[in-house]
A and B are shown apart, each in its own frame.
Chain A
C-alpha cells in the first residue's frame, strides 16, 4: 500500500470536511446573532411606536447557560449575605433575608431567549393587566431563584437565567430566559 498517497487523500478529505463543518458552524452562529440583532431592532421600533423609551442598549449576543443549583445558609437570616455571582452573572433570590451559601452549575447548557423576547413579554404582561408599559432603564441577564410560591423552609433551590428589566420607576420585572 502506498502510505504517502493514502495520507495525501486523507488530509484532503479532512480538509474538505473541516471546511464544510466549519463554514456551517460559522453560518449558524452568524444566523443566531443576526436573529438577535434583528429582534433587537424590531423591539426598539415597537417600543418607540408605543411611546416607551429604552434608555439602555438591548443585549444582542446569543448566550447558552446551564441552570444553577443554589444552597441557602440557614444560619444567615439577617439579610447580611454578600451578593453572589456565577462568573459575570449575579444570583438573585426573591428571599433577600436568606444568604446563598454556595452555587453549583448544572451539567448542560441551553440557548436562552433574547432580551427582545423579554421586553415583548413585559409589554404583553402590561397589556394583559391593562396598564401602560413604563420606560426601560436597564436590562440585565442574571440568575434568579423564584421563591414567590415557597416558604422559608427551603434549603436548596434551582436558579434559572432570567432577564431583569429595570423600569423607570425603579421597579423590576423578571422574565425567565429559558422562555418557560
Chain B
C-alpha cells in the first residue's frame, strides 16, 4: 500500500518536472521576445564581416596597354599581361624616390611626345588617373620632396632618348614630367630586358594609316583566335543566394521589416526607411544598391578602391576568384561627389582569361564610394559557357578597313544627322574622332552569344562594335 503511494508520488513528481520544464522554456521565450525582433541574424553575430575579407587592391589596377615605340614611327601594343611590367616600373620609381640626387623637370607635351615617338620607348598607359602621392604612400616608397609637384598620372614611360629617366604624364591635365636619376642606370634597357614584344602586332598612328593628324595608335592588321562564347544572365537560383547574402548583410536586423516592392515586369526593390537604403533586383539579373552615406573622412583613391572591392567580396558579388572564368579590372575612375561628400566611382571591366569583355552599355560592376562608404553599387554579372579554346588563329578584318567600310555609319550615329554629307568630310571627321580600336568580346543584350569584335571608341567615350572577321556593325553604346 505504502509502496503504491510512493510510486504515485514519483509519477506526480515526473509530471510536475515536465510541466515546470516546459513552463520555464515558455517564460524564457516570452521574456526574450519582449525585446528581440525575431530570429538570430548572422550579421549581428559577426558584425565585422567586411573586415575579415582580404582584398588584393593592386590586382585590380592593371595598365590598359603597354606601348613599345620602335623609334621609326612604328609601335607595338600589348593589351594583355601588362601587370608585371607595371610592377617593374614601380620598383624603378621607388628606387628613384630614394635617390637623393634625383631631379624632376616639367616638360612640354611635344618634348614628351617626341621622346616616345622618335626614340625607342616603353609607355605604360592607364585608362584613368592615379594620384601620384597616394600611389607612393600605398607602396611605402621613400619620401621625396622634389616630386611634390606631380599630382596624378595616367602614363609612365621610359625612352632611349633619356634612358636614365622615368617620364610621368597626366594626359588629361596635360602635365608631363621627367624624373632623372643621378646615376647612369639605363632604365629603358632594364624595362625591356627579357620582354619579348617582337610578336606583338605592329601599329602606326591613325594619321599615318588613314591620313590626318590623329596620333592615336592603330594596328595594321590583326590575327585572333576569338570565337563566340555562349552567355547567360545570372539565373534566379544563382542570384538568390547573392541576394540573400546582400540583404542579410545590408539590412541586418531590420531585414524582416524592410519594404519589398515588386513591379509588373518583376523587378523587386527592397527599401529600408524612407529610401535611406534600397536594393533593386531587376528581372534581367542586374542588382542595384543605393545608400545614403553619413558624413565621414574619405579614404582617398586606394582606400576607396579597397572599400569598393571589400564591399563586393563581403556581399558575395565578386571575391577576387576566377570561379566564373571572369575576373575584373579597373576600367574607369571618376571623381564623385554629393553635397560635401566626396569620393570615387569605380567601374570594372570583365576579362575572360585575357580577352576584354565589353558590354554594349555600362560595365559589369560599378561601385561608388563617398566619404569612405559605399553609396552605390550596380552589378550586372553573367555566366559564360566556355568551350575549349581554338588554337587556330584567323586573320581578323584589317582595322583600317573597319573604319573605311563603316565611317558613314559611325558619322551618322555620332552626329545624329541622317542626311547625306560629303563622303570625304565624314571620313575625315571619323578618322580624327577615333580614340581607340582594339579587339575583344562584346555582349549585345539581344544576342545570346558574346561576339568577337573590333571595338572602336570615339571622342566622348562612345563605342562602336563591328564583327571581328566581317567588319559588320553589331552594336553601339549610347
Interface residue ranges, A against B (CB under 8 Å) = 3-4, 7-8, 10-11, 14-15, 17-18, 21-22, 24-25, 28-29, 32, 66-67, 69, 74, 106-110, 150, 153-158, 160, 178, 180
Q: Which residues of B contact A66 (CB under 8 A)?
A: 256
For B9-35 the 0/1 string (1 means CB < 8 A from A) is 010011011001101100110110110
A32 to B30, CA, bound (A): 14
For B238-269 the 0/1 string (1 means CB < 8 A from A) is 00000000000000000011111111110000
Q: Which residues of A contact B14 (CB under 8 A)?
A: 7
Q: Which residues of A contact B413 (CB under 8 A)?
A: none
Contact A158 B263 (CB under 8 A): no
Contact of A25 among B34, B257, B262, B264 (CB under 8 A): B34
B207 to chain A, nearest CB (A): 52
B275 to chain A, nearest CB (A): 8
B95 within 8 A of A: no
Contact A29 B257 (CB under 8 A): no
Contact B24 A21 (CB under 8 A): yes
Would you list 18 pairs from A and B whose C-beta atoms are within 8 A, ordered by A residue? A11-B17, A14-B20, A14-B21, A14-B23, A21-B24, A21-B27, A22-B27, A24-B31, A25-B30, A25-B34, A29-B34, A69-B260, A107-B39, A108-B37, A109-B37, A153-B265, A155-B264, A157-B261
Given A17-B24, A67-B257, A160-B257, verify A74-B264 contact (CB < 8 Å).
yes
Contact A11 B34 (CB under 8 A): no
Contact A180 B274 (CB under 8 A): yes
Contact of B257 among A14, A21, A106, A156 (CB under 8 A): A106
Q: Which B residues, 144 to 172, have Cβ-Cβ distances below 8 Å to chain A?
A: none
A74 to B28, CA, bound (A): 45
A58 to chain B, nearest CB (A): 22
Contact A110 B257 (CB under 8 A): yes
Contact A153 B264 (CB under 8 A): yes
B273 (CB) vs chain A CBs: closest residue: A180
Contact B261 A10 (CB under 8 A): no
A147 to chain B, nearest CB (A): 9
Report, nearest first, the 7 A-B pairs whose CB atoms are least far apart: A108-B38, A156-B262, A14-B20, A21-B27, A158-B259, A108-B256, A7-B13
Contact B31 A154 (CB under 8 A): no
A176 to chain B, nearest CB (A): 9
Contact A10 B27 (CB under 8 A): no
Contact A158 B20 (CB under 8 A): no
A150 to B278, CA, bound (A): 14
Q: Which residues of A contact B260 (CB under 8 A)?
A: 69, 156-158
A85 to B17, CA, bound (A): 42
B31 (CB) vs chain A CBs: closest residue: A25
A40 to chain B, nearest CB (A): 20
Given A74-B264, A155-B262, verify A21-B28 contact (CB < 8 Å).
yes
Contact A11 B273 (CB under 8 A): no
A150 (CB) vs chain B CBs: closest residue: B261
Contact A107 B256 (CB under 8 A): yes
Contact A110 B261 (CB under 8 A): no
A8 to B273, CA, bound (A): 53
Q: Which residues of A contact B264 (CB under 8 A)?
A: 74, 153-155
Given A28-B34, A153-B263, A155-B263, verify A7-B17 contact (CB < 8 Å).
yes
Q: Which residues of B contact A180 (CB under 8 A)?
A: 273-274
A121 to chain B, nearest CB (A): 14
A64 to chain B, nearest CB (A): 8
A132 to B258, CA, bound (A): 34
Q: Which residues of B contact A67 (CB under 8 A)?
A: 256-257, 259
A160 to B254, CA, bound (A): 13
B342 to chain A, nearest CB (A): 28
A69 to B268, CA, bound (A): 13
Q: Which residues of B contact A28 (CB under 8 A)?
A: 31, 34
Given contacts A154-B263, A178-B257, 11 further A-B contacts (CB under 8 A): A7-B13, A8-B13, A11-B17, A25-B27, A28-B31, A74-B264, A106-B257, A109-B33, A109-B37, A110-B256, A155-B263
Contact B24 A158 (CB under 8 A): no
Contact A11 B261 (CB under 8 A): no
A59 to B30, CA, bound (A): 23
B34 to chain A, nearest CB (A): 5
Given A11-B13, A11-B17, A110-B37, verify A21-B31 contact (CB < 8 Å).
yes
A106 to B39, CA, bound (A): 12
B39 to chain A, nearest CB (A): 7
Q: Which residues of B contact A157 (CB under 8 A)?
A: 259-262
Contact B259 A14 (CB under 8 A): no
A106 (CB) vs chain B CBs: closest residue: B256
A23 (CB) vs chain B CBs: closest residue: B27
Contact of A108 among B16, B39, B273 (CB under 8 A): B39
A153 to B268, CA, bound (A): 12
Q: Which residues of B contact A106 (CB under 8 A)?
A: 256-257
B39 (CB) vs chain A CBs: closest residue: A108
A16 to chain B, nearest CB (A): 10
Q: Which residues of B contact A22 (CB under 8 A)?
A: 27
Q: Which B residues, 413 to 460, have Cβ-Cβ distances below 8 Å to chain A?
A: none
For A15, A25, A157, the residue with the greatest tally of chain B CB atoms inside 10 Å of its CB is A25
B9 to chain A, nearest CB (A): 8
For B26-60 the 0/1 string (1 means CB < 8 A from A) is 01101101100111000000000000000000000
Q: Which residues of B contact A107 (CB under 8 A)?
A: 38-39, 256
A7 (CB) vs chain B CBs: closest residue: B13
Q: Which B residues, 96 to 113, have Cβ-Cβ distances below 8 Å to chain A?
A: none
Q: Which residues of A contact B27 (CB under 8 A)?
A: 18, 21-22, 25
Q: Which residues of B contact A156 (CB under 8 A)?
A: 260-262
Q: Which residues of B contact A109 (CB under 8 A)?
A: 33, 37-38
A66 to B258, CA, bound (A): 11
Given A25-B30, A155-B262, A180-B273, verify A18-B257 contact (CB < 8 Å).
no
